[in-house]
Structure 1
């Protein structure tokens, strides 16, 4: 990144820099992979580029469907330009199929298709290990008004419908995903962060048997191998479809 841009924030998977226009930021995707709140770490060449490309295509799809996002355009292969937002410290997780932490914390069996999407909300705080949080606690901590929280939840449900249908078209089952939102300078709520195999569980529907084949970060999380190959396959299917 050119030295004239100042680093604003560095997370586990991305760096955010200033832009010539103060309303915008430059987001650079890193090759780092992390799991279990960064207790497990590794670097994979090309991961940042793949996540950037996949996120850009999905943001473009959502924008066409009138979903407000922070995405403006790609700057290069692993960098995008986005609206500057004040991130809301909540992670909105939508689950279509039971897997992962939901099954560890309940008696629901992994792979159970849920009758309706389940939304779990987590406080975005590494020091507290991103705890599950209730609506009342969100109000108590003055994170979001009831009206804005309802807006975020309804927007997440709309995004789910769009993404479920899109991924099914490229033979992928959208099991669950995590979204983050923020306020722009005019106080509008925009979808932020990224949408990639880092924060979506995607299972391959091209399988001839009932085996679960993950094409997402679970390949790294669970030492399944073929991590970059899985991300490359998702990118290939998206590009062939769009």
Structure 2
């Protein structure tokens, strides 16, 4: 299903992109009907902690299904939170659509229903790319910097994608020496990450939310002799630290990590501010797939 390596790469220049004003159409969340029989008829490609990938309808495509599973600390803490998958699917669709509109390439093709989206099949680079605007999480612990401290500039970090090792922080020297990515790949990933940061920070600031940090995954696609790097996986409160500008209230997965309240309420608040949810949606405790 995934592409085989190519030879050339193309550089991705960094530019500060404007914030788009378009928003995806509102879709109400309704009481969910079982889709187990429908899902069982499809070929499973991969199942992770928060998503399932199925074979897509066309070559080079996949169907990405968002689960209600919540995990933290490399799955040491787990729960099923009804409605989480619906919210993450809609929010990731919103962000990926915005990036595509600005010419920042992603794997997102289109929404299929409230839990699924059609995506391009990619070869995932085995690295998490983290952009930090404020000290938080492992950076605060590692460097002894108080959480919430504004950093002098956005800092980009790379972690090896390996749950058994705890996704360790790695240097550019490690990445090149072990052939996880080339120097060209690193330059392109850095440019992509900073452009995503410009977009996310601008969009979220406009609705009163600070982007403290976020992580993305990068995928390779091959077009003839050329390789292109694009944003893959998801962009959602699962992968971002989002703080209310006025109160500092956490509107991300730290709510689950630290037992700070209702995770779906936090995610729904982000969706409400972005206009992803209608003004008076039905309760999301029992969401439904709308085919």
When normalised by structure 1's length, the TM-score is 0.95
RMSD over aligned Cα, in angstroms?
Answer: 1.4
Once the two structures are TM-superposed, the CA of residue 240 in structure 1 deviates from its matched residue by 6.3
1:149 aligned to which of 186, 200, 208 = 186
Alignment partner of 1:215 is 2:251: yes
Unaligned runs of 5+ in 2: 1-37, 278-291
**Counterparts of 2:237 and 2:40, CA distance in 1:** 30
**Counterparts of 1:109 and 1:55, CA distance in 2:** 29
What's the counterpart of residue 234 of structure 1?
Answer: 270
**Counterparts of 2:42 and 2:180, CA distance in 1:** 30
Unaligned runs of 5+ in 1: none
- Equivalences for residues 120-131 of structure 1 within 5 A: 120-131=157-168
Which structure shows the higher helix fraction?
1
Larger of the two Rg values belongs to structure: 2
Task: Compare relative contact order (CA 8 Å, sep 6+) and give the higher one, 1 or 2.
Answer: 2
* Number of residue equivalences: 238
**Counterparts of 2:151 and 2:215, CA distance in 1:** 17
Instruction: Give 3-state SS (helix, strand or coil) of 2:64's partner.
Output: strand
**Counterparts of 2:70 and 2:276, CA distance in 1:** 26
What's the counterpart of residue 144 of structure 2?
Answer: 107
Q: CA 1:58–1:216 in 2, change beyond 3 Å: closer, same or farther? A: same
What's the counterpart of residue 225 of structure 1?
Answer: 261
- Equivalences for residues 26-105 of structure 1 within 5 A: 26-105=63-142
Instruction: Give 3-state SS (helix, strand or coil) of 1:153's partner.
Output: helix
Contact 1:84–1:185 (Cα < 8 Å) also in 2: no
When normalised by structure 2's length, the TM-score is 0.79
